[in-house]
């Protein structure tokens, strides 16, 4: 993706020409189009005229994306054609499409990748439209901030995923633990995991870790560092502090489990993220940090009872990773007003209620988050309460430092949990080198 300057210049030119202003200008210069008809006004809601829009999103959030598109298509003239990309294919598809002017109208992506895409000119500047949203003050800002560069806003929340602590209540009972009380400190987390491991049940482990998935590791481990009062990244995203005292305590907890028989599930060290939620889904893990979008579907289908709570820090506190996907209009889209119609609709309280709250998923609209879950599963209320303490790390080169295969973060965890823990600081320095580029 080397088109940054050209794309941003092109988008700026379109905005200056009024192509995507809130009121469309006419080619005739006098309020009429070349045929003499009045020019159509484009309101803050965009245009709903039966246009077919293309949209890409990634597989981990397929259920929520399908819910959103089906709800929109059933109530609008515009129709969104959704393509689900395998998580590992997203970077390649977006990079290739950006080089050939073939990006879809609407592009949703992992919130931690959004800063880089924005810096490369992948998205159109939506500052005026976003500032004009009636619901702006009620939206969680992490996914907006991720797509903000030089004060210009490019993205809105699409699917908000949060990390929570989950536990198997049936295994807790078998291990003599209180099934209604999840861990509130890292010490309690290891205590509970060790108790389940001590059952000696074939195939059952105390916890599980996605040892070779940088994305899953930041999603599950950074909240414990935040909850402990430390900052894993600097505010400007150019340096890391992943060898702090609380970070070392978190790593040591998992190292202890790795050294305990059945402490971490088989395959934890090799887990690339493709199947990292499966062991808990199958009832074979006692307690672990987990994506809430993956646990809601288990409430009706799992053959065991599930507990949900916030992710604790070393000595208490709580936090969550405000992850999921942000969405923007690509710089290649020729249907920006129609694409905006989808985005502004999704931010409305009615859409947030229908698409997310009614399906036990986390709404991006804070008003809905506060009052739209009266009939929801009680565990959803517990999960939603963690959003107040949630964080979204923002760094242009986050993917290279953390998510990419073989990243220094991934290597740090491999050594911290299974290898030579004395290398943690050197891996942190390697992360710094990438972030500071």
Residue 50: inside a domain: yes
**Sign of dihedral through CA atoms 235, 240, 242, 244?**
negative
pLDDT value, residue 26: 29
As a whole number of angstroms, the distance between CA 153 and CA 118 comes to: 9
As a whole number of angstroms, the distance between CA 185 and CA 409 comes to: 23
pLDDT value, residue 73: 98
Residue 342: inside a domain: yes
As a whole number of angstroms, the distance between CA 46 and CA 150 comes to: 25
179 & 318 share domain: yes
8 & 147 share domain: yes
pLDDT by residue (tens digit) across 347-361? 999 999 999 999 989
210 & 355 share domain: no
27 & 102 share domain: yes
Range of the domain at 411: 162-322+392-435
As a whole number of angstroms, the distance between CA 252 and CA 424 comes to: 12
Enter the tokens of residue 307. Answer: 């507990």
Helix (H) or strand (E) holding 80: strand 79-85
Residue 386: inside a domain: no
Residue 59: inside a domain: yes
92 & 235 share domain: no
pLDDT value, residue 234: 95
431 & 292 share domain: yes
269 & 221 share domain: yes
pLDDT value, residue 36: 36
Nearest to 210 by CA among 289, 303, 107, 98: 289
Residue 355: inside a domain: yes
Q: What CATH number is given to the structural domain containing 11?
A: 3.40.190.10
As a whole number of angstroms, the distance between CA 174 and CA 286 comes to: 10
Please provide the DSSP assignment of 180-198 as one string: T---SSHHHHHHHHHHHHT
* Reported pTM: 0.80
How many structural domains does the chain have?
2
The dihedral formed by the CA atoms of 152, 237, 330 and 108, expressed in degrees to the nearest 10: -120
Place of tokens 């309280």: 349
210 & 225 share domain: yes
Residue 72: inside a domain: yes
343 & 276 share domain: no
59 & 206 share domain: no
Angle at 421 between CA 243 and CA 219, to 5 degrees: 55
Residues of the chain with pLDDT under 50: 1-43
As a whole number of angstroms, the distance between CA 143 and CA 155 comes to: 7
pLDDT by residue (tens digit) across 271-280? 999 899 999 9
278 & 338 share domain: no
As a whole number of angstroms, the distance between CA 12 and CA 6 comes to: 10
pLDDT value, residue 52: 98
For residue 324, what are the β-bridge partners? 160
314 & 334 share domain: no
Residue 387: inside a domain: no
Residue 245: inside a domain: yes
């Amino acid at each position: 993706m080397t088109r940054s300057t050209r794309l941003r210049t092109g988008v700026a030119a379109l905005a200056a020409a009024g192509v995507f202003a809130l009121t469309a200008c006419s080619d005739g210069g006098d309020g009429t189009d070349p045929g003499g008809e009045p020019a159509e006004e484009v309101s803050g809601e965009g245009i709903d005229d039966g246009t077919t829009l293309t949209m890409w999103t990634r597989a981990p959030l397929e259920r929520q994306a399908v819910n959103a598109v089906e709800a929109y298509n059933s109530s609008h003239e515009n129709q969104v054609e959704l393509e689900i990309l395998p998580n590992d294919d997203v970077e390649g598809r977006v990079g290739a499409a950006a080089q050939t002017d073939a990006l879809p109208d609407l592009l949703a992506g992992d919130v931690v990748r959004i800063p880089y895409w924005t810096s490369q000119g992948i998205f159109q500047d939506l500052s005026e439209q976003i500032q004009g949203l009636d619901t702006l003050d009620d939206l969680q800002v992490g996914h907006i901030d991720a797509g903000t560069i030089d004060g210009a806003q490019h993205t809105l929340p699409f699917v908000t995923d949060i990390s929570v602590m989950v536990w198997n209540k049936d295994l807790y009972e078998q291990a003599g633990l209180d099934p209604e009380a999840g861990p509130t400190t890292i010490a309690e987390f290891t205590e509970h995991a060790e108790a389940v491991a001590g059952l000696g049940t074939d195939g059952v482990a105390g916890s599980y870790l996605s040892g070779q998935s940088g994305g899953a590791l930041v999603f599950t481990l950074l909240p414990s560092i935040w909850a402990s009062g430390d900052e894993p990244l600097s505010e400007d995203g150019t340096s890391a502090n992943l060898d702090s005292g609380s970070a070392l305590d978190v790593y040591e907890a998992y190292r202890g489990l790795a050294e305990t028989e059945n402490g971490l599930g088989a395959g934890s060290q090799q887990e690339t993220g493709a199947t990292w939620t499966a062991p808990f889904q199958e009832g074979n893990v006692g307690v672990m940090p987990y994506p809430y979008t993956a646990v809601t579907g288990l409430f009706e289908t799992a053959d065991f009872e599930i507990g949900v709570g916030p992710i604790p820090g070393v000595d208490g506190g709580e936090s969550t990773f405000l992850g999921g996907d942000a969405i923007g209009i690509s710089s290649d889209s020729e249907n920006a007003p129609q694409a905006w119609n989808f985005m502004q609709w999704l931010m409305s309280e009615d859409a947030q209620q229908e698409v997310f709250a009614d399906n036990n998923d986390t709404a991006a609209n804070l008003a809905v988050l506060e009052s739209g879950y009266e009939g929801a599963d009680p565990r959803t209320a517990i999960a939603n309460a963690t959003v107040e303490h949630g964080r979204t790390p923002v760094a242009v080169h986050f993917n290279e430092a953390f998510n990419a295969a073989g990243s220094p973060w991934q290597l740090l965890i491999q050594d911290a949990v299974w290898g030579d823990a004395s290398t943690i600081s050197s891996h942190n320095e390697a992360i710094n080198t990438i972030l500071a580029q």
